[in-house]
């Protein structure tokens, strides 16, 4: 992890915290290019009633059309689900920095097998926020992960 990684992951965490404060799932994401934010977003499933408005998807949607993603990095407060991992691969995003795999994980190897560099930050703030959410709103968490 570089200083830039730490700074940009912190923005993803702040997006996750904002989502939590809005009553949604606390998952935030940042798409960056050359250390600069292209876009940032958060899980909006509850707020918008949109089942595919995951944090990574929100950040990518806000980025708008890009000629290429091959020079970008995606930062996410929680390990990407299969939908988001598939989108990372589809768009050719070469590097992903993940804040938390303790509360949810499993697609890191899927990404690696497809050439994506995966950095596991295991950020204490990301881990604690998701743990709190799962404990306080288990039914919403189960809905988010389709259980």
For the annotated catalytic residues, the residue numbers are: 56
- For tokens 């968490």, the residue is 141
- For tokens 């509850």, the residue is 46
Distance CA 47, CA 22 (A): 7
Give yes or no for a contact between 8 and 75, defined as CB atoms under 8 angstroms apart.
Answer: yes
Closest C-alpha among 139, 121, 44 to residue 75: 121
Distance CA 84, CA 66 (A): 17
Q: Running DSSP on this structure, what letter comes out for residue 62? A: H
């Amino acid at each position: 992890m570089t200083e830039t990684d730490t700074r940009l992951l912190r923005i993803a965490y702040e997006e996750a915290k904002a989502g939590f404060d809005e009553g949604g799932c606390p998952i935030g994401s940042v798409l960056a290019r050359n250390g600069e934010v292209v876009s940032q977003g958060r899980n909006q499933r509850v707020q918008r009633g949109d089942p595919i408005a995951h944090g990574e998807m929100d950040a990518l949607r806000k980025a708008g059309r890009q000629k290429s993603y091959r020079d970008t990095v995606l930062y996410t407060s929680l390990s990407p689900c299969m939908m988001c991992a598939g989108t990372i691969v589809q768009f050719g995003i070469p590097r992903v920095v993940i804040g938390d795999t303790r509360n949810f994980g499993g697609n890191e190897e899927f990404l690696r097998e497809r050439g994506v560099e995966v950095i596991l930050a295991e950020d204490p703030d990301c881990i604690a926020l998701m743990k709190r959410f799962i404990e306080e709103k288990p039914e919403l968490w189960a809905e988010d992960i389709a259980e």
